[in-house]
Structure 1
Amino acid sequence: MTRRDGLIRVIDSLHAEIAAMRANDVTALDRATREKLVAIEQLGAVAGGGLEPDVRELAEEAQRLNETARIYVNLLAANVRRRLQMLAGDAGGYRPNGRVAAYG
């Protein structure tokens, strides 16, 4: 496998992860994440010196997609936290008695 091939696999996996998060498809997210981790591991085993311009562009695209995936994860986590707070009667960080909830 070349660096170019490995980066393309990582990029495809990141696209699949983002699509799965958008669709709330846990099975697809698990599959895409496993594929991404395998691709990254294989990419790490590729020996070589500097990056050619097209490979550098692929690496930069992978970094942008990874940042997008990170943002989605943070949004999903915030939504889960908000829902849990609502279920616990702690919507918005305020208790029903009007006192601000303490967070540790």
Structure 2
Amino acid sequence: MTRRDALIRVIETLHAEIAALKTNDIAGLERATADKLAAIETLRALGDGPAGPELRELATEADRLNETCRIYVNLMAANVRRRLQMLTGEGGNAYRRGPVAAYA
């Protein structure tokens, strides 16, 4: 496998992660994440070296897709936080001043 092939595999798995995040498919997300980590490990094992324009373009695409995944995860976390605050009667401000209760 070449670095190009490994980068393409990373991109494919990032697309799968995004699709799973959009549909709340936990099993699909777990598979895509495991596949992505394996592809990244393969890429790491292939080593560093000079990257031509095609490899840089693929790496940029992988970075963009990874950022998209991060945004989806952050939005989901914010929604969960808001729902938990509503359930506990905390309102909507997670950063309010005042005492903070700790639960064991």
Q: Same fold judged by TM-score > 0.5? A: yes
Q: Is the 8 A contact 1:10 1:36 kept in 2?
A: yes
Shift, 1:23, TM fit: 0.5
Shift, 1:91, TM fit: 2.4
More relative contact order in 1 or in 2 (CA 8 Å, sep 6+)? Answer: 2
Identity %: 63
Q: Distance in 2 between matches of 1:42 and 1:103?
A: 48
Residue 23 of structure 2: aligned partner:
23
4+ residue stretches of structure 1 with deviation over 6 A? none
CA RMSD of aligned residues (A): 1.8
Aligned length in residues: 99
Name the CA shift for 1:81/1:40 in 2 (closer, same or farther; >3 Å).
same
Name stretches of at least 5 consecutive residues in structure 1 with no aligned partner. 95-99
Name the CA shift for 1:60/1:87 in 2 (closer, same or farther; >3 Å).
same
TM-score, normalized by length of structure 2? 0.87
Name the CA shift for 1:103/1:77 in 2 (closer, same or farther; >3 Å).
farther
Q: How far does the alpha carbon of each residue in 1:21-63 deviate from its partner, in whole angstroms, 9 at most, with x for none?
A: 0101111011100100010011000035201211110000000
Whichever residue aligns with residue 28 of structure 1, its letter is G
Q: Distance in 1 between matches of 2:99 and 2:40?
A: 36
Residue 64 of structure 2: aligned partner:
64
Name the CA shift for 1:10/1:103 in 2 (closer, same or farther; >3 Å).
farther
Name stretches of at least 5 consecutive residues in structure 2 with no aligned partner. none
The answer as to 2:57 corresponding to 1:85 is: no
Q: Distance in 2 between matches of 1:102 and 1:31?
A: 42
Q: Distance in 2 between matches of 1:69 and 1:102?
A: 34
TM-score, normalized by length of structure 1? 0.87
Q: Is the 8 A contact 1:90 1:101 kept in 2?
A: no
